[in-house]
Amino acid sequence: MTKHIYLLLIFVSVFSGCAAFQSGAAIRRAEIWDMKNDNSRPVFAEIRVFWNEVKFRTREDMIGDPDADKKPKPTMVSNSDNRFLQRTAEDVFAEAGMYDRQNGTGTLEIGLVSYGRWNYRSLWKGFLVDTPFVMLLPTSLATMHKMVVGFETPEGKKHVGSTATMKTVFHALIFPLYPFATPASKEKKILRNMLWNSTVSVHNAYKGQAEAK
């Protein structure tokens, strides 16, 4: 690698900016309001979360690699990330009136898989090297979150699911947006919205099964 490429990469790492944007996780406020006013919603005594991730390494890992055996496999996220999801899930479902350790019944299981999750160290190993013109042309990375929530209904086990995508755009001109749309803060907001939307989905599924009985 030439000296000019090294200088360019240093320039990019210091001066380029990024901002994260979301899709597919718009919070269902009207439905949440109706759900919170319905006393028939289920109340769980325990919540268990399982968060796995497929880490970003190169673009070929995420798309276009025909050999499935070479694709990265899901692994557990860090303990701190899993604790964050556990605390957030308990807070959201408690605020929705659907989680009470003392008076609730049954267990709610939340499984989350995040595809293409990255950190700045992983970007240096491939992304910034593979896209040296990031200063000239905007480029992006997408992280997709798939959440599945399992619970018992009067008719047996039920699952509801949702997906959301976080797209992080890298370009020098959007550097001023970084304090307002950091990838970490945007991810937390997306996951919180997904959990709130899950309270509605769980309630609707539980209520539908109970009414059909």
Q: Per residue in 109-162, pLDDT tens?
A: 999 999 988 776 666 665 655 555 555 556 677 889 999 999 988 788 999 999
SS3 string, the chain, reads CCHHHHHHHHHHHHHCCEEEEEECCCCCHHHHHHHHCCCCCCCECEEEEEEEEEECCCHHHHCCCCCHHHCCCCEECCHHHHHHHHHHHHHHHHHCCCECCCCCCCEEEEEEEEEEECCHHHHHHHHHHHCCCCCCCCEEEEEEEEEEEEEEECCEEEEEEEEEEEEEEECHHHHHHHHHCCHHHHHHHHHHHHHHHHHHHHHHHHHHHHHHC
Q: What is the pLDDT of residue 111?
A: 97
Residue type, 19: A
Q: What is the pTM of this model?
A: 0.77
Q: What is the pLDDT of residue 117?
A: 86
Q: Is 64 exposed, middle or buried (0-12, 13-18, 19+ CB in 10 A)?
A: exposed
Task: Give the mean pLDDT of the chain.
Answer: 77
End-to-end CA distance of the chain: 68
Residue with the larger pLDDT of the pair 154 and 62: 154
d(CA 83, CA 71): 27
Range from 39-48, 121-130, 167-176 that averages highest in pLDDT: 39-48
Q: What is the pLDDT of residue 99?
A: 97
Domain ranges of the chain: 3-212
Mean pLDDT of 85-107: 96
Lowest mean pLDDT of 8-22, 56-70, 157-171, 179-193, name the range.
Answer: 8-22
